[in-house]
Structure 1
Amino acid sequence: MSVDQHSDPFEERLSAALHDAGDTFEADRGTLTDVGLTRGRRIRARRRAAVLGGAAGIAFVGVGGALLLPGGNGGGEDGRTSAVSGSEVTAGAQDTPAPISGKELIRTLKGLLPDGRFSGEEGRGTDSSLGPFAKVVYDDGEGPAAVGVGLQRVKPGGSQAREATLCPDKVLTPYDSCATSVLADGSKFMMLKGYLDPDRRTDTRGWSAVLVTPQGQMISAGEWNSAAEKGEPVSRPAPPLSASQLEELATAPQWRAAVDAIPKPADWSAPPPRAAGPAVLERLAGLVPDRLDVVSKGSQGKEDAHVVVDDGKGRSFVRISVRHGMSDLVGEIYGPVEKLEDGTRVATWEKPRKEDAAGVVVWTVEALRTDGRRVMASAFSTGAQHEDAALGTPALSMEELRTIALSPWWDDLE
């Protein structure tokens, strides 16, 4: 397979993305910044089931959007929202094939794996409102390992389809390798080899492969070198499948047929508008004080962006999040809230990191406008979220972060 190896690839992150849903989403739940993001995404999940809950079993990540959790309590308030697409589904659509059960998906997965012993079988069918997946604990004689496949239907050519096969930015998450390619039929493919923990405090490895077809079929396959992502000891040096075997698993035609059995969304445009990633990044970079040098930058999805700045003494990671439709967060803004004349609510806080990195301090300003637009700006006293502190405090002051969060430049982003 011909691949383009990325030397400085994309957010969130085999491991950071693993914390992005399931146990949290926030790439680094030790910071109050991520507490704020968790609040916002929890509310959005309640409306659109964009994030699946539950920690039973393994989470597989296709960085840009292919996040598949075996357990879960997602689902819309009416129970008819698709967790795999975030859009309401058309019940009993005439052009959708008959549902495929979780047992059938498990049987397909086992049939595609090399000979070995199987246990810990879990699965959901294509008619599940939580999204279909199949997972087994596979042992080829070298140690038990979790292996699974998750299925999604995404809008062809849409943002989720485009972002699902983007490699993570190493500023956000360290990993061994990430490669992408375009297959003969126009499908996009990504393979990522990384770790559960950004700081490598455990030896748990996670390898994932994501395939997105021109028709909007998304298949995410993942494997670990333990029987589960968390709570199980490392059982072998590396996951059981080689890169070529993992690719064969993800690209097997059986999964495409199964995706076709997922009910089609009634309206791809149902989710609220989102800010455009490149524009968010451009404006963040333009708001950085002139006294700082921007040494690297990147965007995550459509709503988040970051820059790494240097004040001559060390580097700081600066992150911005711009979201719409957050009016129902008014009562949940963290800490003391200041209300401005135009009705905008502003909160600031500073906290040390509790996980992953030593001595890191995070300063955050959150601004919630009356139209429901929420802007959160954070600065870290390190150039990468998983690294120890490079400075005593972030390179940007709290007042400078406040200027960024309250900038009118965010007001016309759609």
Structure 2
Amino acid sequence: MTSEEDFARALRASAELAPAPAGDLLALNAELRGRNRVLRRRAAGASAVALVAAAGCALALLPWGTPAGVSAAGDTPSAAAPTPVDWFMPRTLRSLLPKEGKVDAQKISSIDQSMTLSAAVEYDDGHGPAQVGVTAERVVTPLTDADPALQCPDTLDEPTTTCHVTTRPDGSRLVTAAKAPRWDGDTRTWTATFAAPDGRMIRAFEIVTGFADNPDREQPPLPMDGLQKIATSDDWKPVFELLPPGKVFTEPVTVDHVAAALREALPAGAVFDPGKDTQNIPGRIHGTVSLNGRTSNMVVTVAHNWEYGSPGDERVRFQQMGSTANIHKTVNGIDTFLKKIPLAGPGHTPETQGTDWFAAAQFPGRTVVTVKLWTPGTGNQHATGPGALDEDQVVALVSAANWSHA
């Protein structure tokens, strides 16, 4: 397996506990879990190549020189496309790992996905390897509980073992989380997300896949305090010279407003039940939707001024989120897509495979709505059969006009 494949797979798995606006993270997460090993390799390799190509032009113009005296495997910039990320991100990550462990020099990667700077390595403490990685980006300031990047995952969608959010005396935020496996041998993911008061955010993640070359283990090679050390290190400060200032704060959509808009947008006869648990994450709601005797789980997110202040064109970022799907424009000028994503089960066989439906709409004025729909199966698995809503109903739901003023 190439380092690009390893890294792309690690990025997708880290998305499972990266609670930024559901969008591409939900899609990437579902795609990871939904493919068997061969398909994962092919898709990850293609994604990595595309991401590297997209990164090249932007990073080549940045005012960083090639470091002198860098010769360790994996640290030397590529002769074909030398960029700061090629050496700085993986080298810094490697320097923050415990020296008693082993880093596979053939599995060190760095990728820039729309200027979300990232790197990953394979680290082994002597009892089995894991993918350890980081991403660097900026978030809005002042830091707020309403920022999805500083929230715990939605537990209906992503079962978690633990999640803790801490505000430090200097105003910085630290979120630590561990994904609960859905079955024996399922992928396990641990994350530590640190945001400084000035908006610099580092997310450190660690995964084991349950595959033979990356076997399942209940405790990762790098303990959570090791991930925290990576995420909170000042060594990452230089990389933020590559990133623009943080996003402009936009008043989030309240849970009540999301619920009201959702009920208005559902097809006639459909009933939404948010359940009895307290939901107070701005811009997001989950629950069940029932229609014609069928019931499915659903997670809905709404974000106004989506991706404002992020590098690149928000339309391009939406297209990236909808990669592998056909993006259609409605008569009202709303871009939409729907993905039906196979979801792996125990043994990654067709008999245990379920289906996730993920839809998104981009409205004029930077409002983006996402809907994830699935039917529960045994335990934490997802079923294969039809959902409570059909394809046309899901697309009509996510692109309903009332979302733009939710």
Q: Quickly name the TM-score band, shorter chain normalised.
A: 0.5 to 0.7
Match of 1:208 among 191, 195, 200: 191
> What pairs up with 1:158-169 in 2 under 5 angstroms?
162-169=147-154
Please tell me the residue identity of whatever aligns with 1:182.
T
Please tell me the residue identity of whatever aligns with 2:136.
L
CA offset at residue 168 of structure 1? 0.8
Matched, 1:317 2:297: yes
CA distance in 2, matches of 1:345, 1:133: 32
CA distance in 2, matches of 1:73, 1:403: 35
CA 1:107–1:381 in structure 2 vs 1: closer, same or farther (change >3 Å)? closer
CA offset at residue 239 of structure 1? 0.8
CA offset at residue 213 of structure 1? 1.1
CA distance in 2, matches of 1:339, 1:71: 28
- The corresponding residue for 2:376 is 382
Contact 2:298–2:374 (CA<8 Å) still a contact in 1? yes
Q: CA RMSD in A?
A: 5.7
CA offset at residue 310 of structure 1? 4.9
Matched, 1:138 2:124: yes
Please tell me the residue identity of whatever aligns with 1:395.
A
- The corresponding residue for 1:308 is 288
CA distance in 2, matches of 1:222, 1:346: 31
CA offset at residue 238 of structure 1? 2.4
Contact 1:172–1:386 (CA<8 Å) still a contact in 2? no
CA offset at residue 299 of structure 1? 9.2
Please tell me the residue identity of whatever aligns with 1:250.
A
Percent identity of equivalent pairs: 18
SS in 2 for 1:409: helix
CA 1:290–1:268 in structure 2 vs 1: closer, same or farther (change >3 Å)? same
> What pairs up with 1:94-109 in 2 under 5 angstroms?
102=87, 106=91, 109=94
Match of 2:142 among 141, 157, 160: 157
Match of 1:408 among 393, 401, 405: 401
CA 1:275–1:230 in structure 2 vs 1: closer, same or farther (change >3 Å)? farther
CA 1:209–1:347 in structure 2 vs 1: closer, same or farther (change >3 Å)? closer
Contact 2:143–2:197 (CA<8 Å) still a contact in 1? no
Matched, 1:395 2:388: yes
Q: Deviations over 1:46-83 (max 9, x none)?
A: xxxxxxx9847xxxxxxxxxxxx9994264695259xx
CA distance in 2, matches of 1:151, 1:137: 20
CA offset at residue 386 of structure 1? 5.2
Matched, 1:119 2:113: no
CA offset at residue 134 of structure 1? 5.5
Contact 1:353–1:362 (CA<8 Å) still a contact in 2? yes
CA offset at residue 411 of structure 1? 3.5
CA distance in 2, matches of 1:136, 1:264: 25
Match of 1:27 among 26, 29, 37: 29
Match of 1:219 among 202, 206, 213: 202
Contact 1:190–1:211 (CA<8 Å) still a contact in 2? yes
CA 1:186–1:290 in structure 2 vs 1: closer, same or farther (change >3 Å)? farther
SS in 1 for 2:52: coil
Q: Scaled by the length of structure 1, what TM-score is found?
A: 0.58
CA 1:100–1:265 in structure 2 vs 1: closer, same or farther (change >3 Å)? closer
Contact 2:146–2:281 (CA<8 Å) still a contact in 1? no
Structure with more of its chain in helix, by fraction? 2
> What pairs up with 1:1-400 in 2 under 5 angstroms?
16=16, 25-29=27-31, 55=44, 72-73=51-52, 75=54, 78-80=57-59, 91-92=62-63, 102=87, 106=91, 109-110=94-95, 112-113=97-98, 115-120=100-105, 122=108, 131=117, 133=119, 135-139=121-125, 141-157=126-142, 162-194=147-179, 199-200=182-183, 202-225=185-208, 232-234=213-215, 236-251=217-232, 255-263=233-241, 265-266=243-244, 268=246, 276=253, 278=255, 279-288=257-266, 292-296=271-275, 306-310=286-290, 315-320=295-300, 326=315, 353=342, 355-356=344-345, 379-382=373-376, 387-389=381-383, 393-396=386-389
CA offset at residue 268 of structure 1? 4.6
CA offset at residue 383 of structure 1? 8.4
CA distance in 1, matches of 2:116, 2:231: 20
CA offset at residue 144 of structure 1? 3.2
CA distance in 2, matches of 1:221, 1:396: 37
Q: Deviations over 1:184-211 (max 9, x none)?
A: 222111111126xx64363442222111
CA offset at residue 234 of structure 1? 0.5
CA 1:319–1:358 in structure 2 vs 1: closer, same or farther (change >3 Å)? farther
SS in 2 for 1:170: coil
SS in 2 for 1:102: helix
Higher mean displacement: 356-365 or 145-154:
356-365
SS in 2 for 1:218: strand
Contact 1:165–1:190 (CA<8 Å) still a contact in 2? yes
Aligned residue pairs, count: 342
Contact 1:315–1:383 (CA<8 Å) still a contact in 2? no
SS in 2 for 1:164: helix
Contact 2:132–2:207 (CA<8 Å) still a contact in 1? yes
Q: Which runs of 5+ in 1 are unaligned?
A: 1-11, 35-52, 57-68, 82-88, 94-98
CA distance in 2, matches of 1:215, 1:250: 15
CA 1:231–1:282 in structure 2 vs 1: closer, same or farther (change >3 Å)? farther
CA 1:335–1:247 in structure 2 vs 1: closer, same or farther (change >3 Å)? closer
Please tell me the residue identity of whatever aligns with 1:213.
A
Contact 1:306–1:319 (CA<8 Å) still a contact in 2? yes
CA 1:407–1:162 in structure 2 vs 1: closer, same or farther (change >3 Å)? closer
